[in-house]
Amino acid sequence: MGYEIERELPGFRWYALSTRSRQEKTVASMLEALRVQYFLPWSSEVRQWSERRQRVRVPLFQGYLFVHSNLARDRTLEILRAPGAARFVGNNSGPLPIPDAQIDRIRQVINCGIECPVEPQHGEGDRVCIVRGPLSGIEGTLVRTSSTIRMLIAIEIIHQALAVNVSTRDIEIVSRNAERPPEIPWPYSLDHAEGIEAQSK
C-alpha cells in the first residue's frame, strides 16, 4: 500500500502525484527505491474475460498516488523523474497539499474492508452527458436536491426543462459550472522542474 516512515518530518505534507496510464505500481516501486513515503490505496473489481469472471486488484484512484514530501527542489526532481510519473496536482498557485485527515480517512475505510467505489465529484450547474443506459449521449445541466441528483434537459426558448434522475456513475462532465472555483492542473512536470533548476544555476 505504501512505503512508510515512522518518524514525523517537519514541513512534510501529502500531495497527489498524477501518473501515466496504468503506471501507478511502477511509480510506487521507484518511490520505494528512493525511500520516498507514498500511499497507493488498492481496490478490487470483477472483470469478464470471455466466459470467465475474475476479481482483480486495481488502484483505488486510477492515475494517482499520494506522496509525503516537503517538495524540496532536488527531491521533487527525483520524484518526477520516476518512470511513469506525470505531474503534481494543484492549481495556478502551485501543488496543493492534502489534509492529513483525508488520507487517514481513506486508510481507515480500506482497513475496514468496506467496498467503496470511487465516484467523480460533480457540482451543481455542471454540464454533463449520460454515457450509459437508454439515454446515453444526452446532455444536460446537473442539479441536486436533498436526496437525488438530477439532470435538466432544457427547452431553452420556453424556459422549461425535463428533470431526469441520474446516477453519478452514468454521467461524465462536459464542462464545469463557470461560477465554481476553477480546477487547474498545476503544470509542475519534469520539464517545468528542470527549467527552474537550470535558471537557478
pLDDT, residue 6, reads 45
Write the DSSP string, the chain. ------S--TT-EEEEEEESTT-HHHHHHHHHHTT--EE--EEEEEEEETTEEEEEEEESSTTEEEEEE---HHHHHHHHTSTTEEEE-EETTEEPPBPHHHHHHHHHHHHTT----------TT-EEEE-SSTTTT-EEEEEE-SS-EEEEEEEGGGTEEEEEE--GGGEEEEE--TTSPP-PPP-EEHHHHHHHHHHT-
Q: What is the pLDDT at residue 179?
A: 59
**pLDDT tens by residue, the chain, 201 residues:** 665 554 466 789 999 999 999 999 999 999 999 999 999 999 887 777 778 888 888 898 889 999 999 987 778 889 999 999 999 988 777 788 999 988 988 888 888 887 776 766 677 788 889 988 888 899 888 887 666 788 888 766 566 777 888 888 888 888 877 655 444 445 556 666 666 566 666
Using only the alpha carbons of the chain, give its radius of gyration: 20
The CATH homologous superfamily for domain 13-118+187-199 is NusG, N-terminal domain (3.30.70.940)
d(CA 161, CA 26): 48
The pLDDT, as a whole number, for residue 150 is 83
Does the pTM surpass 0.85? The reply is no
Q: What is the pLDDT of residue 180?
A: 54
